[in-house]
Homo-oligomer: A and B are copies of this chain.
Amino acid sequence: MKALKERIIKDGIIREGNVLKVDSFLNHQLDIELFEKMGEEFKRRFEGEKITKILTIEASGIAIASIAARYFKVPVVFAKKTQTKNIAGDVYTSKVESFTHGKVYDIIVSKQFLTEKDSVLIIDDFLANGKALIGLAELVKESGATLVGAGIAIEKGFQVGGKLIRESGIRLESLAIIDEMSVEGGVVFR
């Protein structure tokens, strides 16, 4: 998606260790006009698919999912991160390993809000090692709902997540896929 790629080139900051900071428009300060274009593009890519719910994960996925939901006219459900040991039986849970923080945490969704009648589109801001997305897909599976696919804003194409997800048969639509990235050379899109 042209507008997003241009914005990454203009305002993304590359740091050593494959870090891409996009917090001026994507995950700390949020450019809602850009999110509207992204929402429209997700709708275009998943046109004709039956979708009853958008699933995302707190915190930075929530804004993109909420704006996208306007185009799909469905509710958003966001999975909560928790490190609580005892989780009540009325939630679906899976485990996610955080790349940034090096911790394992549980993600949970109340059973009320995902059922076998749902057709789910997962939306998130970033895809790198794929752990969050795999965790979300597991929640969908556990609920008996149909997983229609996943829409991602920025995929780090040089990390393993995208490959894992595509090979598992999940339809993955990333609006910008970065194949190479360096402080000197900038960003190369697929």
A residues with CB within 8 A of B: 23-25, 28-33, 35-36, 58-59, 62-63, 65-67, 69-70, 73-78, 80, 109-110, 112-113
Contacts and interface: CB of A to CB of B under 8 A. Distances in A.
Count of this chain's copies in the oligomeric assembly: 2
A76 B58 contact: no
A53 B31 CA distance: 11
Given A110-B23, A112-B24, A113-B24, A32 B63 contact: no
Given A58-B58, A70-B36, A113 B63 contact: no
Contact of A70 (B24, B32, B73): B32
A59 B32 contact: no
Chain A interface, >50% SS class: mixed
B28 A78 contact: yes
6 contacts: A28-B109, A28-B113, A29-B76, A29-B77, A30-B75, A62-B66
Nearest to A66: B63
Contacts of A77: 28-30
A59 B35 contact: no
Given A32-B75, A62-B63, 14 more contacts: A28-B113, A29-B76, A29-B113, A30-B69, A30-B75, A30-B78, A32-B74, A33-B73, A36-B70, A58-B59, A62-B66, A63-B63, A63-B76, A67-B70
